[in-house]
Structure 1
Amino acid sequence: MKKYLMILLSLAFCWVISISPAVFAEGDRTHNHNELTESHDVENHTHEHKYEDESHHDEAEDARGDGHENHEDEHGDHEDEDAKAEISPESAKKMNIVIEAVTPATIEKTVPLTGRITLNRNTKSDVRARFQGIVRDVKVNLGQSVTKGQALAVVEANESLQNYTITSPINGVVLERNTNVGDVTGDKSLFVVADLSNVWAKFHIFPRDDAFVKSGQKIAVHTLEGGEGAIGKLDMLFPTADELTQTQVGIVVLPNPDFRWKPGMTVEGDVTVATTETPIAVKNSALQKMEELGDVIFIKEGNSYLPRPVRVGSKDGSFTEILQGVKPRELYVSEGSFIVKSDIMKSTAEHAH
């Protein structure tokens, strides 16, 4: 019996020995799994904490960004409000600022021409001797003004040996004196007298403009510097072309009582070939250009002058058609707009600093 118990104990011990490594290994795996689980939980917690921090950071950045954008918008609105000039009526008068209402206007389409002031051939006289003879006396000098019937020279006739007087047939100026005492008269003119109280503006019309330029059309004549000007009409168009320039010649008769138009002067002319009625127009002097706004005019509201962007259409020498931006009867700066623009730019620059 005792022997039998010893055998059983030996078998039990061997069984215990055989299963112990597996149990221990399983325990280690369980322990390692628990450690990994704990480590994973820590990492997840750390990641979640980091995500929360980043999320809070992004929200803060968005908040700051929104605040910046709002600030920019408010600043932009503030600049728009500040883009004006405050000018009292007294100051505006001193600065020659003129206010007018937006009105309809007639816009003229013109063709530019170039020409020259010449003598009016209908008021120029070539003075000759009636009878051949010897010039005994000359009464006038070159450039002298004379009246109709005034003595110009005395000639002794060859046949009668009698002296006779040559007189001026018109009022005018002696432009040529082609004789002196002792000369023998012949067929040539002794004097050229011209009435300069009216002259011709002789213009050359190129073939590309022939179809538009007609006799009787209105024309604005001015010097190259733009200092002198007159409004006339095309009194005649020559039926022949100028041999040298191959252009048609148009004549404008200009009154010249103060002799400001001098023969030989180069002039320019703008022929009105068509007209357009526009319901909204402003004077050309009202328009200015401003950065970011383009073409503007300045609208008067009380003592404030505000830039108003406009879209322009056709224009002539006086008016510009406004297609968009203003309404009829609005008050605008027609003269002195550059002064208003300068005042606005100055105040805007000061505000920016």
Structure 2
Amino acid sequence: MNMNTSQSSVSKKHLIAIAVVLALGGAAGAFIFQGGKSQAAAAESDGHGHDSQAKEHDEHGAETGHGDEKGHEDHKGQAGAEHGGAEDKKDGLIELSDAQIQAAAITVDTASAGHIQTALLLPGEIRLNEDRTSHVVPRLAGVVESVGVSLGQVVKKGQVLAVLASPAAAEQRSELQTAQKRLALARTTYQREKTLWEQKVSAQQDYQQAGQALSEAEVAVANAQQKLGALGLSPLSASGLNRIALRAPLDGIVIEKHLSLGEAVKEDSAVFTIADLSQVWAEINVPAKDLPFVRVGEKVTIKATAFDASATGTIAFVGALIGEQTRTAKARVVLANPQGAWRPGLFVNVAVVAEETAAPVTVSTDAVQTVAEQPVVFVKVDGGFMAQPVKLGRSDGRRTEVLQGLKAGTPYAATGSFVVKSELGKGSAEHAH
């Protein structure tokens, strides 16, 4: 009985505790539910507010034409395209007036058909014209008594370069004088014997012997004179029999001098070298494969490698032999040198025309410029120039073939096209800023 009373008492306590817990849980759940409902209502209310504002904005946009996002973007793109086209046109046109073009020395030419020359560029060297170069030798040994010129001096033909004292010269002149005196005596004897024979006073044999002696004396004089002439000696010398005057054999410049006062020189010593530099040779080294294009009489262009100078000439000689070491043949151009600019020893490049072909559209090579790593030609339009991209073909340095991008008859900036390019660069820089 007591046990049952105790169990009943415990059960009542448990029930009361459970009821309290359930009551508290219900109150908390109601509170949470109410708070979530309030937040949802607030969120829904806020959403409806935004929707109404967006709707009002859309309606207002529809009325004004700016509310439709797609329409707004299309309108913006169209305006941007129109604006971009104007910018492109402005960027493409290099505005230059006729007065500015003239002041900048820009010449306008017309694209036209032309001939492109394919040229071989061969190495060469300026050399002395050996036909106009002379080495002065004494021909007789002697001692230098005076020197009248210096190295690099311009001399005239027959001008005295130096004077030598030579015993051999004295002997040659003495021989001539002796022969001349014998000739004079032989003439006198011959005239006397002739007169006596005509008067029949002397025998004919004496007369014939006198004639023979006269002939021998004449031969001796002629022989002595020829010896002096071969040695470059005059028959008589005002300064003495042993004096040798070395004279310039031609007009030119003393380019070598190998004697000094009091020096003993041999008969075969080249004491002076005189060269006429008004004409020089351009000697060309021609590889064997290029020999068919190098012909006598062919016009060539010669350009110096050390400085800006060029000249034209004609091939006067092509060698028949090929060098064993160089495997090249020698060709020669006779080059006029009135100003003395082509100095012997100067390296040159010689351009020989190999072939000439026609091209339908050509422009001046100076007209081609590079913009954005692409070749362009500045075409003349109203108000200035436009950069026209082109595809180039062959070029000979003067004319350049245009394969694409330009038609014959199109005006373009020839000389001074770099000025137009600089103006294009200025315009691009201003547009970038």
- TM above 0.5: yes
Q: C-alpha distance in 2, partners of 1:266/1:65? A: 69
Give 1:348 deviation, angstroms: 3.5
Match of 1:286 in 2: 367
Runs of 4+ in 1 over 3 A off after TM superposition: 59-74
2:384 maps to 1:304? yes
Give 1:173 deviation, angstroms: 0.6
Match of 1:86 in 2: 95
Q: Deviations over 1:224-276 (max 9, x none)?
A: 15511111222211112335423111211111111001111111121111111
Task: Give the counterpart of 1:185 among 241, 254, 266.
Answer: 266
SS of match in other structure, 2:168 = coil
Match of 1:328 in 2: 408
SS of match in other structure, 1:204 = strand
Change (3 A) 1:188 1:284: same
Give 1:70 deviation, angstroms: 7.9
Change (3 A) 1:160 1:126: closer
Match of 1:107 in 2: 116
Q: Which runs of 5+ in 2 are unaligned?
A: 1-67, 171-241
Does the 8 A contact of 1:218 with 1:234 survive in 2? yes
Q: Deviations over 1:287-328 (max 9, x none)?
A: 112228x22111112332111222221111111012233333
SS of match in other structure, 1:261 = coil
Change (3 A) 1:225 1:88: farther
Does the 8 A contact of 2:111 with 2:362 survive in 1? yes
Task: Give the counterpart of 2:145 among 133, 136, 149.
Answer: 136
Change (3 A) 1:266 1:62: farther
Give 1:331 deviation, angstroms: 1.8
Q: Deviations over 1:32-53 (max 9, x none)?
A: xxxxxxxxxxxxxxxxxxxxxx
Match of 1:145 in 2: 154
Matched-pair identity in %: 33
Match of 1:260 in 2: 341
Q: C-alpha distance in 2, partners of 1:62/1:113? A: 70
Q: TM-score, normalised by structure 2?
A: 0.62
Task: Give the counterpart of 1:171 among 251, 254, 258.
Answer: 251
Q: C-alpha distance in 1, partners of 2:169/2:120? A: 61
Task: Give the counterpart of 2:303 among 213, 222, 226.
Answer: 222
2:132 maps to 1:123? yes
Aligned partner letter, 1:151: V
Does the 8 A contact of 1:79 with 1:348 survive in 2? no
Does the 8 A contact of 1:295 with 1:309 survive in 2? yes
2:164 maps to 1:155? yes
Higher helix fraction (1 or 2): 2
Q: TM-score, normalised by structure 1?
A: 0.75
Q: C-alpha distance in 2, partners of 1:160/1:235? A: 42
Match of 1:350 in 2: 430
Change (3 A) 1:278 1:128: same
Q: C-alpha distance in 2, partners of 1:69/1:211? A: 66
Aligned partner letter, 1:261: W
SS of match in other structure, 1:143 = coil
SS of match in other structure, 2:88 = helix
Q: C-alpha distance in 2, partners of 1:187/1:107? A: 55
Q: C-alpha distance in 1, partners of 2:368/2:96? A: 19
Does the 8 A contact of 2:139 with 2:267 survive in 1? no
2:284 maps to 1:206? no
Does the 8 A contact of 1:135 with 1:185 survive in 2? no
Q: C-alpha distance in 2, partners of 1:269/1:160? A: 49
Q: Deviations over 1:120-174 (max 9, x none)?
A: 1111001112333333222111111101111111122323432131111110011
Higher strand fraction (1 or 2): 1
SS of match in other structure, 1:343 = helix
Taking only aligned residues, the RMSD between alpha carbons, in angstroms, comes to: 2.5
Match of 2:4 in 1: none
Q: C-alpha distance in 2, partners of 1:309/1:184? A: 73
Q: Which runs of 5+ in 1 are unaligned?
A: 1-58
Match of 1:75 in 2: 84
Does the 8 A contact of 2:302 with 2:312 survive in 1? yes
Give 1:61 deviation, angstroms: 5.6
Change (3 A) 1:160 1:117: closer
Q: C-alpha distance in 1, partners of 2:281/2:131? A: 10
Q: C-alpha distance in 1, partners of 2:326/2:258? A: 31
SS of match in other structure, 2:124 = strand
Does the 8 A contact of 2:367 with 2:377 survive in 1? yes
Change (3 A) 1:191 1:160: closer
Change (3 A) 1:80 1:208: farther
Q: C-alpha distance in 1, partners of 2:424/2:353? A: 38
Task: Give the counterpart of 1:246 among 327, 336, 340.
Answer: 327
